[in-house]
Amino acid sequence: MSAQGEFARIASEDGRAALVTVVEGDEPGAKLLVRVDGTTDGSLGDAALERVAVEAADDLLWAERSELRHVEETALFIDVTAPAPRLVIFGAVDYADALCRLARAAGWRPFVCDPRSQFATRERFPEAEGVIAAWPDEALASLGGIDRATYIAVLTHDPKLDDATLTIALRSDAPYVGAMGSRRAQAKRRERLLAAGIEEELLDRIAAPIGLDLGAVTPDETALSIMAEVVAVRNGRDGGRLSQMSGRIHEVGA
């Protein structure tokens, strides 16, 4: 199968890959397929150019956007296909139901995980992509682990579940790890995790208290606060008010 045909197959299966095409240069029309694991199909006709193309494709695979890139006298179009990002929610609580609904509306794939099978049910979370009644290590293993497009929200108030989730998430490639709880609860959690051997710099990754400062009170408002923070992190933004910002509202690709 050609590089373009394989790219089309991966896209049809909602997978992740990049197709690099020479649009200007010595080999116009040459194509190189780049997979998540770094393997490739096809050729651009130059080994050095292919190394640069693979590196650029890896960046864009997780930025989840397509771009035109210039490498000296060669112009490459990098076309990316990727599934919707995942929001993995730990804690089968009312906030999780509201967050699932908002995540789904925003085009994300929400999953709910909780070892308490009486709470982690499909009936309680109809908008979830999946509901997994298992401890964090088993739940994440069933999802294929944590990649750079997996965002973590810890909504429980159970130290056993919180700490087990955060121990895994903080040492993963997750770009966002948020945890619910008051500042007092966060301080106690930090003490526990430090005592368990989690490095201080890793603890600084936790977005806690979780969410943006919207003055949220209800589960729906709290879910909006969390989802707003997650989207801001995904787009490399701080989540401030646009009326007080300068510069472009939207990034423009090269």
**pLDDT-based confidence at residue 254 (cuts at 50, 70, 90):** very low
pLDDT digits (tens, 9 = 90+) for 95-141: 999 999 999 999 999 999 999 999 999 999 999 999 999 999 999 99
**For residue 54, pLDDT beyond 70:** yes
The band of 157, judged by pLDDT with boundaries at 50, 70 and 90, is confident
Q: Which of 185, 220, 224 is nearest to 206 (CA)?
A: 185
> Domain boundaries in the chain?
3-81, 86-234
- How far apart CA 33 and CA 38 sit, in angstroms, is 10
Predicted confidence at residue 183, as pLDDT, reads 87
Reported as a single tens digit per residue, the pLDDT across 17-48 is 999 999 998 889 999 999 999 899 999 999 99
Q: Which fold has domain 86-234?
A: Rossmann fold (3.40.50)
Q: Please give the Cα distance from 194 to 127 (Å, whole number).
A: 36
pLDDT beyond 80 at 146: yes
Average pLDDT, integer, range 91-98: 95
Question: Cα–Cα distance between 186 and 2 in angstroms, integer?
Answer: 52
